[in-house]
Amino acid sequence: PTITFVEANGTPTPVDVPEGWSLMQAATAHGVDGIVGECGGSCACATCHCYVDDLLAALLPPASDNELGMLENVVAERRPHSRLACQIKATAAMAGAVVTLPECQE
């Protein structure tokens, strides 16, 4: 699915994310600056913090205890739609989703 990552400064980057890839993998592979992904996707760094849109929020399972714990550690403001991009696996239903990135990750 094509998912658009919007940097904190408003710059959008549409990325064609292969199904099954995490949004962190796809964003870092396409040079999206607002996602760091320091731990490589093992839900241990919180530098892949993002704000999902309503479409994604409706599709995603609730955050695991582990993800919720890491969301306590995000550097930028935590919002109701805060998630970790490495814990979001792309599915076809996510086509057109928009993910907004925070001001900072570390």
Which residue is it, tokens 């989703």?
97
- Give the strand pairing for 2-6 and 12-16: antiparallel
Q: Which of residues 29-58 bind ligand FES (CB under 6 A)?
A: 37-39, 41, 43-48
> Residue 84 or 97: which CB sits closer to ligand FES?
84
Q: Which distant-in-sequence residues (6+ apart) come within 8 Å of 63 by Cβ?
A: 71, 83, 84, 87
Q: In what order do the strands lie in the sheet with 82-84?
A: 12-16, 2-6, 98-100, 49-52, 82-84
Contact between 49 and 70 (Cβ < 8 Å): no
24 binds ligand FES (CB under 6 A): yes
Smallest separation, CB 39 to ligand FES (Å): 3
84, 94, 99, 101: residue in contact with ligand FES (rule CB under 6 A): 84
Choice from 70, 94, 99, 101 touching ligand FES (CB under 6 A): 70
The site that binds ligand FES (CB under 6 A) totals a number of residues, namely 14
Residue with the CB atom nearest ligand FES in the bound state: 86
By CB under 6 A, name the binding residues for ligand FES. 24, 37-39, 41, 43-48, 70, 84, 86
